[in-house]
Amino acid sequence: MKLNAASEMIPVTWPEFSNLHPFVPTNQTEGYQQIFKELEAYLSEITGFEACSLQPNSGLQGEYTLSADDQSLS
């Protein structure tokens, strides 16, 4: 079982991050998109990899990501 440190979970409690509806229109998520793109760029630079993914690998978050992705393809 993977355990996250309490300090890593603090941002999840912030209303600015935690209250985004899963089906919000894309044009209303530009701030989130910028944060994700910058984080991916930083992680790629730090690790030396050409690219990286922030997609969760397993658990409920992974299942939700997969189901959300499947809906967008249909």
DSSP 29: -
Query: Which pTM value belongs to this model?
Result: 0.58
Structure tokens at 47: 């690790």
Which of the residue ranges 17-26, 40-49, 59-68 has the most confident prediction, judged by mean pLDDT? Answer: 40-49
> What residues contact 53, with CB distance under 8 A and at least 6 apart?
40
56 and 65 Cβ atoms separated by less than 8 Å: yes
Q: How confident is the model over 44-62, as pLDDT tens digits?
A: 999 999 988 887 666 666 6
- CA-CA distances (angstroms) from residue 4 to 7, 8, 14, 45, 66? 8, 6, 17, 24, 22
